[in-house]
Structure 1
């Protein structure tokens, strides 16, 4: 990520370099490049730490919740016993996790527009800090409910999702991440910067998998409490990260650091409601002005279902191939390793080849990268669902992970097509559409897993077959879309 930010900042802030510009211009460009890198670095480490901490909490919570359900149905049963893998236990666990994910999306969908407006008015940092705080509070509710199973019903963890009204939860977090990436990189290489941004949580997953395995060896609750401590520290760390709002419009670090205006008078409740309503109407009207743009946006509804695969995958392999939860967590390491190689090396290289060697314009380049990504997702999803051996699951997961660049490439393509519109409006619409898909896919995949267990045999992979069918529909749209444009004339500079 540092290299791409450095290169792109140079091209944005010092366009006269290499064209006979003075040494002073060159020096200013280098100074601004360092400024952009220094702004990015704290966010990099903060999100890396938050991702690791979240995995340390979430991974052991599944066996903890499985044990609570198992003891409810089979009093006296030992943890990880064969009785805990019974259909009744696994169905209840799948139901709880599916609806937990669904309820976790609702606050973000309700508060997305207000927080988007707040990010434009007050900056990205305070909104991002609130988002991380809400996620941490939601995890705290999960911990309390599971630590006192005699006092609380396990289904009360669904109420924890309401706390993500503070900050908007993952939906707002994702949008803020892409807005920050847009603030510190040039438009010419937007999708490449998104590739590098996508590598941040992957590095966290890659580091967290062995760390979680070691922590869970000392006890599930040791891992949970260690991770929650990391969530608290990471959330507090946001307070010392620099603000990136209006950074792209600044000529120097000094100008940028004073560019955010926090002195605007606060709006009253009625004025705020009217302002939010108008902003929402304007955003929807401007974003959906084109049939082509609308079709590509709605494509995220089909592809968002694939985001529900990781939690189902762990339960799938523990049920079908009798893996332990700790062993199943290592699949995250395999997937993260392949995805990191894809967005950190393969796609930036492919992007450069398509632009400079094949001379495609940026829109066509992003479209072909999206087509390649969605094709890999389809093949991988069907492979996981139809696998009869664990090695086939691993190979199919690696193929599936090759399609990770679809999302960043499609975002870059859409922002390019919708030139002249605010990136925050478009990114917020994408997040809302993806959240709608996730809202539907959580209970849908949970129900299909229960049906698959009842049918037995190959049908236990029904959730992944269903995901493959949805991705096939998305593939037809992406392959069928046509985007015009002259070959991109890349300059030597």
Structure 2
């Protein structure tokens, strides 16, 4: 995907595996071509230059509207999430704590009596908290793995598009959160571990599917040269903007009005964010409107070809049964996704994103109860660490587009080389930062480690942009669906490991071992960094270009 013009010529209707000269398309497609595309060669279309200029202006305006809608929707959704998560962690801890004292030490705090937060930092409570929160991503990953491929294919369907799938995926986590609230609010009726049943709501798509579709929709409306900068901007304003201000508000609400007030405010904001996201236009045909106004190349068909066409009988997809169509699409997806397994550099990039997603989704939450337990502060106070994280993230992501422009414009390196360089530097910072956090004896040292880690915030966007540059536009949804599956697997395996390391560290009673999860994350990023620095080769450096069985190049050099 090099220019907007190329996107115009390669839309979602392009076959996933194009036919070469020795193969001909199905009969129903060729019959359509012979009847609708045979024109008089003397008839030459007249191209209106003013109309073309107006079309370009309209495309730019529509792109801006879509991106602004995404940013505003993400900002509101993330603001609601910032209000919900810390309060829910404290509510989980309180529920577990009250149950523990009611059953194990009822003479201290009888059933129904409130337990001070400082009494909840004991090993049994913290271990159970880490266990419950750590296994949630495992159960979340199961429906994500089941639906990621079908939803990716549905999102690639011209008649359905990205938007309905995206909105359905957003509803899953929302309903899951409502279920967790019900379980904790009526903890005398439901055991706390019933929150795991909330994963059933993710059958419409979880966070991995949401991320995959979000990146796909952004790719739909951007060009390669602006893709990475757009990713960074979306993270800067849509994700980290709320993180800069909302932790302060959340802490104030939790300390003054209670945890449930913060939850109520968060649910209200998430609802508003969903409504805003529902106004985002469909993106799958973003570049097709201009193309539809222009004449397609004509195809001359000989009488011999027509006789051959009429003698064939192929059932068009729309007349096949649903089972046959799903089976054919699944086989097509498996065949077309094989380039990820055949490509060493894509394997490295996808695995890198797995580790990054684990770091983003669970490590920062683990940091809440780690800081609270090790440094003797409340979860509400520990939540202020998110403000530090967001402030540094915003600074980094604000500078990255300018750095990208400098590297590609002034220095003149390629977009792929630029993305790889940013990823290599970022992964070093991620590893060092987590090591400092895990080994920090005091809170100020942990904050320094968090700052160093956050300086690597450009990692995810640069790696995604680099991976997308290897794949043709009409394969983007499939690539992102594959990434969604792998990140779900990463959460499936990694989140229990983080919880286990934290639980084991707390059970020792020695605060030095409380930071084991972050030492483990630092070690993981050391391995990822080694692969990015010493194993990954771009095509321009001699890296292999993957070719499928029909000798069609799927990865551009």
When normalised by structure 2's length, the TM-score is 0.78
Instruction: State which of 494, 499, 515 in structure 2 corresponds to 1:461.
Output: 515
Whether 1:196 and 2:223 are equivalent positions in the alignment is no
- Residue range with higher mean Cα deviation, 98-107 or 414-423: 414-423
Whether 1:227 and 2:291 are equivalent positions in the alignment is no
- Contact 1:363/1:416 (CA < 8 Å) preserved in 2? yes
Aligned mates of 2:337, 2:221 — CA distance in 1: 26
After superposition, residues 21-60 of structure 1 pair within 5 angstroms as 27-60=54-87
Q: Which residue in the other structure is 1:283 paired with? A: 336
**1:149–1:185 CA distance, 2 compared to 1 (3 A):** same
Q: Provide Cα deviations, 1:446-469, integer angstroms capped at 9, x if missing partner.
A: 010111113313211111001111
Point out where structure 1 has 5 or more consecutive residues left out of the alignment: 1-7, 14-20, 256-263, 487-493
Instruction: State which of 476, 479, 485 in structure 1 corresponds to 2:540.
Output: 485
Aligned mates of 1:368, 1:389 — CA distance in 2: 33
* Structure with larger Rg: 2
Displacement, 1:139? 0.6
Aligned mates of 2:221, 2:499 — CA distance in 1: 39
Point out where structure 2 has 5 or more consecutive residues left out of the alignment: 9-47, 103-108, 295-316, 542-557
Aligned mates of 2:116, 2:377 — CA distance in 1: 10
Whether 1:402 and 2:439 are equivalent positions in the alignment is no
Q: How many residues align?
A: 462
Aligned mates of 1:446, 1:63 — CA distance in 2: 16
- Contact 2:94/2:117 (CA < 8 Å) preserved in 1? no
Q: Which residue in the other structure is 2:154 paired with? A: 118
Q: Which residue in the other structure is 1:3 paired with? A: none
Whether 1:444 and 2:497 are equivalent positions in the alignment is yes
- Residue range with higher mean Cα deviation, 387-396 or 47-56: 47-56
Q: Secondary structure at the match of 2:524?
A: helix
Aligned mates of 2:92, 2:293 — CA distance in 1: 51
Aligned mates of 2:129, 2:53 — CA distance in 1: 59
**1:324–1:189 CA distance, 2 compared to 1 (3 A):** same
Q: Which residue in the other structure is 2:387 paired with? A: 333
Q: Secondary structure at the match of 1:426?
A: helix
After superposition, residues 69-468 of structure 1 pair within 5 angstroms as 69-75=96-102, 76=109, 78-121=114-157, 122-166=160-204, 168-199=205-236, 200-216=238-254, 217-251=256-290, 268-307=321-360, 308-343=362-397, 345-419=398-472, 422-455=475-508, 456-468=510-522
Aligned mates of 1:420, 1:283 — CA distance in 2: 13
- Contact 1:10/1:29 (CA < 8 Å) preserved in 2? no
Displacement, 1:53? 1.4
- Contact 1:361/1:485 (CA < 8 Å) preserved in 2? no
- Residue range with higher mean Cα deviation, 472-481 or 354-363: 354-363
Q: Which residue in the other structure is 1:4 paired with? A: none
Q: Secondary structure at the match of 1:418?
A: coil
Q: Provide Cα deviations, 1:45-87, integer angstroms capped at 9, x if missing partner.
A: 2221111112222221111111111111113264434321111
Q: Provide Cα deviations, 1:103-130, integer angstroms capped at 9, x if missing partner.
A: 1222112100111111111111111110
Aligned mates of 1:187, 1:246 — CA distance in 2: 17
Aligned mates of 1:356, 1:108 — CA distance in 2: 40
Q: Secondary structure at the match of 2:116?
A: coil
- Contact 1:342/1:402 (CA < 8 Å) preserved in 2? yes
Aligned mates of 2:115, 2:4 — CA distance in 1: 53
- Contact 1:145/1:152 (CA < 8 Å) preserved in 2? yes
**1:279–1:224 CA distance, 2 compared to 1 (3 A):** farther
Aligned mates of 1:118, 1:328 — CA distance in 2: 42
Aligned mates of 1:58, 1:437 — CA distance in 2: 21
Aligned mates of 2:321, 2:74 — CA distance in 1: 34
- Contact 2:88/2:259 (CA < 8 Å) preserved in 1? yes
Displacement, 1:368? 0.4
- Contact 1:32/1:253 (CA < 8 Å) preserved in 2? no
Displacement, 1:471? 0.7
**1:266–1:233 CA distance, 2 compared to 1 (3 A):** farther
Q: Which residue in the other structure is 2:88 paired with? A: 61
Aligned mates of 1:119, 1:37 — CA distance in 2: 22
**1:170–1:478 CA distance, 2 compared to 1 (3 A):** same
After superposition, residues 6-17 of structure 1 pair within 5 angstroms as none
Aligned mates of 1:277, 1:90 — CA distance in 2: 43
- Contact 2:345/2:538 (CA < 8 Å) preserved in 1? no
Aligned mates of 2:293, 2:67 — CA distance in 1: 16
- Contact 2:374/2:511 (CA < 8 Å) preserved in 1? no
Q: Judging by fraction of residues, say which structure has more helix.
A: 1
Q: Provide Cα deviations, 1:272-317, integer angstroms capped at 9, x if missing partner.
A: 5413421331232133332332233233344443232111100110
Aligned mates of 1:341, 1:375 — CA distance in 2: 18
- Residue range with higher mean Cα deviation, 156-165 or 24-33: 24-33
Aligned mates of 2:193, 2:406 — CA distance in 1: 51
Aligned mates of 2:5, 2:269 — CA distance in 1: 35
**Aligned alpha-carbon RMSD (Å):** 2.6
Q: Which residue in the other structure is 1:472 paired with? A: 526
Displacement, 1:12? 9.1
